[in-house]
Structure 1
């Protein structure tokens, strides 16, 4: 009981100083400028709201070193997985607005408001925006022995078999689920969705022929495509990928308006000084221009966002647009999480 009381007291004390610091920066512009000039004076924590080894974690580890070098302080990665990324994201939303705890998150920032009925944070009100970092393309796959060989044949096959066609996903809120929802929405069909606890088991069952389709990130499935262990029906980007040049886009095959990428951006708690955000943005841009980072991202089939997107204003605009885009699709599909 004493330990619980002590921890509760420490938590209240941290919250007090966080609020006090935010008030000082708000009412004292000179204090904000002085703070920004010396920032950072200690290591920074970059929260990844997912488990290690996933695409978002991969990007975090690739950019953390170069960003830290630009800022003159180390950036430590903290993985806080759970509830589709909401636990780690909430950790940053509640952190002190001083630039020492920041967030890297994917398209889930835009879909969470529709997926979760009681989301404990507001992506548009509880964060400052550092910039978009990368775009992770996706591809629609089929099991190797699925009869159709292209999208037109797949559409005919689906119409003939309807709900007997299964489509796997990596779980509630996963990008693979969103891709599946968008595919069904654009095609006007309802397939049998089968959720898994992660991409690995979903992909295992696709490789084993237990499920028919899976739409997921190229970082996860690229090697299986190149080894012809699955059928690739199309990539979800506007143009073909340099890493998979022989796979047509879904759009060029007639599925107009089908575009989804697991874009990834960086955020800070609401109230973080503008000058601090500017320093973090500069460090992000420097990292994305690092030759070694470019090579590693290309090897992972991850595309660096155009520099015009690597800005606070662009990330905010993109997030708003994606929230408006995905909300109706998720609500119409009844794809809610508790």
Structure 2
């Protein structure tokens, strides 16, 4: 009898401790956040991803009641930052914003220390940055049909700049060449800045670049715009047709961005982060500043875990074959 009482007492103590632990965990999730949240950016300050991160950080912090601090962790095409976040404590105090590089990493790098599809919790897509296929001012072609003929006639004599191995500008250029059935001479630079400078100076023929820095040059006539990489024409340059409507059916490249958290982050916390993200993207000031930078906020249904996960899966299937076929880096 004494043994039975002792056993029951032990069980009761374990149940009580478990209940208390569960209560503490639930309370911690309910009270979250109680300190600042780190929003990790995988690139240096000043780029499009960093710009978006800083625009949403302040209103997200206001919604959460704690400061959201942007932390730049550049290097290795986002691998360093992605690994840092994947290994961070799943407590909601470390979140991550990354662009389409999350979808290209597996094809670009051997033996990644994380898995884009399994190492993170998905919070939602954020915004898309469209791209434009540009040509130097004195290129003989004046429209896409003439560009097609020029490329077919000159082949590898045509030069195409990019921002380096794995950069979005390189991927866009390789997809363009794949769809055109040609191989141009690809010239890598250390960033889109110097690549665009040489395009403006006439040292290279073509460049696929983001609208955030190219629209002024298009409007000033300093470069030729042969087509946007979107399904619909862009309001900022309505006279520039899409590549899709000019024969490259389904050609779409956007520098999309998503927000993630370490795998295992509790759902109640993920829900709070998602709500703060949605509120930030509905902030009138944020919307105007993104619009002024030619950055498109994604539709509401994409600002969700499912929206981001489904999009990432599709993008991996799009870019994997392109990267492997091109044998990047080249």
Larger Rg: 2
Q: Does 1:214 align with 2:201?
A: no
Q: Does 1:267 align with 2:260?
A: yes
Structure-1 residue corresponding to 2:97: 104
Contact 1:117 1:336 in 2 (8 A): no
1:30 positional shift: 4.4
Structure-2 residue corresponding to 1:180: 173
Q: Does 1:71 align with 2:64?
A: yes
CA distance in 2, matches of 1:173, 1:122: 17
Q: Does 1:309 align with 2:292?
A: no
Structure-2 residue corresponding to 1:12: none
Q: Does 1:52 align with 2:26?
A: no
Structure-2 residue corresponding to 1:21: none
1:317 positional shift: 0.9
Q: Does 1:298 align with 2:280?
A: no
CA distance in 2, matches of 1:114, 1:30: 44
Contact 1:49 1:105 in 2 (8 A): yes
Render the CA deviation track for 1:47-84: whole Å, top value 9, x for unaligned: 11001111101100100000000000001111111111
Structure-2 residue corresponding to 1:127: 120
**Counterpart of 1:167 in 2: which secondary structure?**
strand
Structure-2 residue corresponding to 1:143: 136
CA distance in 1, matches of 2:195, 2:141: 20
1:159 positional shift: 0.6
Contact 1:139 1:235 in 2 (8 A): yes
Structure-1 residue corresponding to 2:221: 228
1:161 positional shift: 0.6
1:89 positional shift: 1.4
- 320-329 or 298-307: which moved more? 320-329
Structure 2, unaligned stretches of length 5 or more? Answer: 1-17
Contact 1:92 1:102 in 2 (8 A): yes
Structure-2 residue corresponding to 1:82: 75
Structure-1 residue corresponding to 2:149: 156
1:35 positional shift: 2.1
Structure-1 residue corresponding to 2:35: 42
RMSD: 1.3
CA distance in 1, matches of 2:87, 2:188: 31
Inter-CA distance 98–185: structure 2 relative to 1 (3 Å threshold): same
**Counterpart of 2:233 in 1: which secondary structure?**
coil
Structure-2 residue corresponding to 1:61: 54
**Counterpart of 1:168 in 2: which secondary structure?**
strand
| TM-score, structure 2 normalization | 0.92
Inter-CA distance 310–29: structure 2 relative to 1 (3 Å threshold): farther
| TM-score, structure 1 normalization | 0.90
1:33 positional shift: 2.5
